[in-house]
């Protein structure tokens, strides 16, 4: 470059400001934006958080229907991320509905009636004690096992041992922070989950699925041996009585179970939501199989029949054959 009136810029002119670490205000602003996202969006379905909402043992929020879809045995289900992505997000903390607690938020009725709030199409959650709006700007907690949500300030000041909404007793270990930002709070929740696992309990303080079996095995083989001997010592029933018992047992085993009984769900609302999700998935599968199950298409092809060679073929593969008179 030269003799063209231009100039060669130096490095000092190109790099006027060196890279600097973000300030404290910038870090807090980025953290607040991240908290705002997780307070409004389900990480599994990437949809807006709408009640019913559940939380795992570390205080993350999810839509309950997204968790139910993840727990279904199908490999790929519409409405949520892939199974691998969901497992990475959950980190093995949710293996069943016992590992989550349904949260009960207090709705701000005055704000819901405001026209601006109706346009946002988003509920306003408040603390029933301090009336502060719950969100990224207010540290919030919920109680296990009832699931009522309060501001952390209200729980700290009152220092009670019963829920202010339902009088359900709780301990200080069962006060769970929602979306904690401090490492100490996160570590405390992780240690709580480990202690409950050692005791055979889940996050909702319910017994883990395999805890009873392990307890029976821990008692020794004496009880099992006694039960086996008792079974062998019982006299054999008569032929008619045994047939009646077997018929009754077969009828009871083949009876159509209700949605709640088949899934082992006692809560009526949860059972209804699970049945709705299963019904949607079955409807999608039926639509996919409509082409293969079309009777008009299947009627074009005959089934295998070993009587004659003509019956073993269909009209698409059957060749033209001359009558016997024409061959002469």
Domain residue spans of the chain: 27-209
- The model's pLDDT over 142-198, given as tens digits with 9 standing for 90+, comes to 999 999 999 999 999 888 889 989 999 999 999 999 999 889 999 999 999 999 999
pLDDT of 13 reads 74
- The model's pLDDT over 119-148, given as tens digits with 9 standing for 90+, comes to 556 788 999 999 999 999 899 999 999 999
- Any residues with CB less than 8 A from the CB of 307 and at least 6 apart, and which? none
- If you average pLDDT over residues 58-84, what whole number do you get? 86
Highest mean pLDDT among 105-109, 171-175, 231-235, 256-260: 171-175
pTM: 0.62
As a whole-number percent, the residues of the chain with pLDDT over 90 amount to 41
Find out whether 167 and 50 touch, Cβ atoms under 8 Å. no
pLDDT of 277 reads 78
Per-residue burial over 83-99, b = 16 or more CB atoms within 10 Å of its CB, e = otherwise? eeebeebbeeebeebbb
Average model confidence (pLDDT) across the chain: 76
pLDDT of 259 reads 45
DSSP class per residue in 37-55: HHHHB-TTT-SB--SSEEE
- The model's pLDDT over 216-230, given as tens digits with 9 standing for 90+, comes to 444 444 444 444 444
pLDDT of 27 reads 86
- If you average pLDDT over residues 93-109, what whole number do you get? 93
Looking at the predicted structure, is the pLDDT value of residue 37 above 50?
yes
- Per DSSP, what are the bridge partners of residue 107? 125
**How many Cα neighbours within 13 Å face the side chain of 318?**
13
- Out of 109-118, 179-188, 310-319, which region has the weakest mean confidence (pLDDT)? 310-319
pLDDT of 147 reads 95
Inter-axis angle of helices 83-90 and 64-71, nearest 10? 120
Place of tokens 């054999």: 236
Peptide bond preceding 52: is omega within 30 degrees of 0, i.e. cis? yes
Containing 63, the helix (H) or strand (E) segment is strand 61-63
- The model's pLDDT over 243-268, given as tens digits with 9 standing for 90+, comes to 555 544 444 444 444 444 445 566 77
- The model's pLDDT over 275-288, given as tens digits with 9 standing for 90+, comes to 777 787 787 777 76
Find out whether 95 and 67 touch, Cβ atoms under 8 Å. no
Place of tokens 């998935």: 281
Give the whole-angstrom CA distance, residue 63 versus residue 55.
9
Q: Locate all alpha helices (DSSP H) within the chain, ordered by sequence.
A: 11-14, 24-40, 64-71, 83-90, 109-112, 115-120, 152-158, 183-198, 211-218, 222-233, 239-253, 259-263, 268-288, 295-298, 324-327
67 to each of 82, 94, 150, 190, how far by Cα in Å?
12, 8, 23, 20
Task: Give CATH for domain 27-209.
Answer: 3.30.40.10
DSSP class per residue in 128-155: TTT-PBPBTTB-EEEETTT-BEEEHHHH
- If you average pLDDT over residues 79-99, what whole number do you get? 89
Give the whole-angstrom CA distance, residue 161 versus residue 36.
30
Give the whole-angstrom CA distance, residue 178 versus residue 129.
17
């Amino acid at each position: 470059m030269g003799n063209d009136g231009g100039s060669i810029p130096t490095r000092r002119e190109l790099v006027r400001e060196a890279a600097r670490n973000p300030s404290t205000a910038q870090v807090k602003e980025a953290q607040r934006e991240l908290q705002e996202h997780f307070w409004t969006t389900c990480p599994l379905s990437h949809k807006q958080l709408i009640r019913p909402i559940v939380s795992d043992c570390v205080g993350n929020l999810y839509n309950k229907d997204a968790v139910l879809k993840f727990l279904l045995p199908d490999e790929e289900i519409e409405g949520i991320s892939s199974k691998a992505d969901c497992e990475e997000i959950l980190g093995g903390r949710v293996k069943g509905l016992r590992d989550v607690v349904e949260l009960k938020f207090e709705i701000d009725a005055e704000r819901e009636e405001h026209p601006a709030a109706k346009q946002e199409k988003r509920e306003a959650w408040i603390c029933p004690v301090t009336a502060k709006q719950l969100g990224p700007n207010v540290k919030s907690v919920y109680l296990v096992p009832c699931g009522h949500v309060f501001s952390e300030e209200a729980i700290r000041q009152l220092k009670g041992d019963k829920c202010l909404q339902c009088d359900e007793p709780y301990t200080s270990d069962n006060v769970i922070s929602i979306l904690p930002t401090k490492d100490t709070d996160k570590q405390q929740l992780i240690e709580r989950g480990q202690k409950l696992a050692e005791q055979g309990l889940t996050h909702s303080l319910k017994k883990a699925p395999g805890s009873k079996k392990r307890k029976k095995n821990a008692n020794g083989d004496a009880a099992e041996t006694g039960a086996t001997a008792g079974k062998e010592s019982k006299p054999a029933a008569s032929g008619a009585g045994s047939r009646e018992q077997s018929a009754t047992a077969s009828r009871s085993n083949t009876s159509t179970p209700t949605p709640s009984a088949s899934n082992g769900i006692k809560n009526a609302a949860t059972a209804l939501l699970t049945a709705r999700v299963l019904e949607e998935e079955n409807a999608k599968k039926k639509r996919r199989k409509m082409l293969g199950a079309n009777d008009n298409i299947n009627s074009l092809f005959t089934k295998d029949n070993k009587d004659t060679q003509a019956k073993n073929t269909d009209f698409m593969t059957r060749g033209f054959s001359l009558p016997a008179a024409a061959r002469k």
